[in-house]
């Protein structure tokens, strides 16, 4: 006997998501009690089965006193098996209801901690393992899953090889202050902050590669845009310059938003997302040089030091001027990583680009063209006081057939936060990790 396959004499197993296929039939549904109203003669349990919630109708007469009494005494999230006839009913939420003819109670839950009343975010995050059962969190997790599918499909269908970058690295790519360290058989190892350097090896081996995995930053700022553990996708392309990278980033972001919009509409509606904002994510994205953006920001009353980086307030003001993502390129060389290629026509600016999401969501993509000259890179490593011996393998990529190349990184959770239109990034990952949170 297996549980997935019901006994031969049981009504066929259905799911709430596919219940419309069973109208007029008697089926078996398994799940958890989401809600229950009852009078002395009739009860309206709502059953949650992981694929959706369905309203059910159970009469005392049909079930008998004993089963009916047991049912109406059940607490929220009790697990049960219901049998009954599926009826189309336009008044029911979802359009269908189950007329219950039989039930088995698997486990009677008592005092489920998350009730209909409002709970604070700390309480909910402390109960994340249960909070995931709520409709809103389910909608966000479905949008996350669809986003992952869109991202992978984009690259898989376009000839990129998936080349997972390692998590353990012997050295720090962009400074040690935000690194997590572990003891690795008697020496230190660091958790990756970016898989990019390894993807550069990938691009010269396979032409185009990507990695998509967890990334770690010991962010001491507990902002609503930061997690210590988040997922990042990083494509890298050989024979590409800044303009190519902007073309690809734009095409990619349009594909991903439209894919989620196409396949995730019910979840976005559940989240009360303004769909017109996502429908507007179409090519072309405005391409604005950093210097032009500074002029624009000054005129908007938010001046920037042209040799410093943008802050979040600048990003917010700037992106509010547009109905779609914008691409800001040519940031000051002084504030960017050592591997970014300088603009040969203006060495104080790099051939890098940030894609800023609209509605104040800010940077979702950062990337650009990489320095492909061995000599320049050696000089940069000295200038940034980085330990050259750790980068010898990376320098090899410039010693043996160097080519113009570039790529970008997109943080999955920032993308999902924006697409869902929610205020805080921590709801976009199943079990968020922040400076104050390591559990559950």
What is the footprint of a second copy within residues 212-231 (CB under 8 A)?
213-214, 216, 218, 220, 228-229, 231
Look up residue 177 and give its two tokens: 């202050």
The yes or no reply on residue 103 touching a second copy (CB under 8 A) is no
Of 46-54, 262-270, 330-338, 418-426: span binding a second copy (CB under 8 A): 46-54
The yes or no reply on residue 2 touching a second copy (CB under 8 A) is yes
Of 92-100, 194-202, 267-275, 324-332: span binding a second copy (CB under 8 A): 194-202
CB nearer a second copy, residue 311 or residue 393: 393
Question: Residue 19 gets which letter from DSSP?
Answer: G
The yes or no reply on residue 123 touching a second copy (CB under 8 A) is no
The yes or no reply on residue 122 touching a second copy (CB under 8 A) is no
Contact 232/429 with Cβ under 8 angstroms?
Answer: no
Of 75-83, 294-302, 328-336, 337-345: span binding a second copy (CB under 8 A): 75-83
Looking at the DSSP bridge assignments, the partners of residue 38 are 43
319 membership: H or E segment, kind and range:
helix 312-319
CB nearer a second copy, residue 227 or residue 288: 227
Candidates 11, 19, 22, 30: give the one binding a second copy (CB under 8 A). Answer: 30
Q: What are phi and psi of 323, to 5 degrees?
A: -95, 5
The yes or no reply on residue 144 touching a second copy (CB under 8 A) is yes
The yes or no reply on residue 182 touching a second copy (CB under 8 A) is yes
Contact 427/214 with Cβ under 8 angstroms?
Answer: no
Candidates 184, 283, 382, 423: give the one binding a second copy (CB under 8 A). Answer: 184
Q: Which residue has the tokens 């005129």?
A: 299
The yes or no reply on residue 166 touching a second copy (CB under 8 A) is yes
What does the alpha-carbon distance between residue 364 and residue 259 come to, in Å, rounded to a whole number?
17
How many helices and strands in the chain, by DSSP H and E? 14, 18
Report which of 94, 97, 95 is spatially closest to residue 82, judged by C-alpha positions.
Answer: 97
Candidates 43, 98, 100, 165: give the one binding a second copy (CB under 8 A). Answer: 165
What does the alpha-carbon distance between residue 11 and residue 25 come to, in Å, rounded to a whole number?
9
Contact 405/377 with Cβ under 8 angstroms?
Answer: no
How many chain residues interact with a second copy (CB under 8 A)? 102
What does the alpha-carbon distance between residue 304 and residue 377 come to, in Å, rounded to a whole number?
29
Question: How near is the Cβ of 404 to a second copy at its closest, in Å?
Answer: 6
């Amino acid at each position: 006997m297996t549980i997935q396959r019901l006994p031969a004499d049981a009504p066929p197993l259905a799911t709430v998501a596919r219940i419309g296929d069973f109208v007029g039939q008697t089926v078996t549904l398994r799940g958890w009690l989401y809600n229950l109203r009852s009078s002395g003669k009739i009860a309206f349990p709502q059953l949650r089965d992981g694929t959706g919630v369905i309203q059910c109708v159970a009469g005392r007469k049909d079930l008998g006193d004993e089963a009916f009494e047991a049912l109406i005494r059940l607490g929220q999230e009790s697990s049960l098996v219901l049998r009954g006839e599926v009826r189309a009913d336009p008044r029911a939420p979802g359009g269908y209801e189950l007329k219950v003819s039989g039930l088995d109670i698997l486990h009677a839950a008592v005092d489920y901690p998350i009730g209909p009343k409002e709970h604070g975010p700390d309480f909910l995050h402390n109960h994340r393992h249960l909070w995931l059962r709520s409709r809103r969190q389910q909608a966000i997790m479905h949008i996350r899953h669809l986003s992952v599918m869109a991202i992978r499909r984009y690259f898989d269908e376009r000839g990129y090889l998936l080349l997972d970058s390692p998590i353990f690295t012997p050295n720090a790519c962009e400074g040690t202050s935000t690194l997590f360290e572990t003891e690795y058989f008697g020496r230190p190892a660091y958790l990756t902050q970016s898989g990019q350097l390894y993807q550069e090896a990938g691009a010269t081996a396979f032409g185009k590669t990507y990695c998509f995995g967890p990334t770690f930053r010991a962010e001491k700022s507990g902002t609503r845009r930061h997690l210590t553990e988040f997922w990042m996708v990083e494509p890298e392309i050989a024979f590409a310059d800044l303009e190519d990278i902007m073309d690809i980033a734009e095409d990619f972001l349009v594909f991903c938003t439209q894919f989620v919009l196409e396949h995730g509409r019910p979840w976005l509606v559940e989240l009360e997302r303004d769909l017109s904002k996502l429908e507007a994510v179409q090519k072309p994205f405005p391409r604005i040089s950093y210097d032009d953006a500074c002029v624009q920001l000054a005129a908007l009353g938010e001046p920037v030091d042209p040799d410093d980086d943008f802050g979040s307030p600048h990003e917010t003001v700037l992106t509010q001027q547009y109905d779609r993502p914008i691409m800001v390129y040519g940031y000051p060389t002084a504030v960017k990583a050592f591997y970014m290629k300088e603009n040969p026509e203006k060495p104080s600016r790099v051939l890098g680009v940030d894609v800023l999401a609209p509605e104040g969501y800010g940077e979702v993509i950062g990337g650009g063209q990489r320095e492909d000259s061995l000599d320049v890179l050696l000089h940069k490593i000295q200038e940034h006081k980085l330990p050259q011996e750790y980068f010898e393998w990376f320098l090899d990529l410039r010693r043996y057939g160097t080519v113009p190349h570039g790529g970008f990184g997109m943080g999955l959770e920032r993308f999902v936060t924006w697409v869902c239109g929610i205020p805080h990034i921590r709801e976009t990952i199943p079990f968020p990790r922040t400076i104050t949170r390591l559990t559950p």
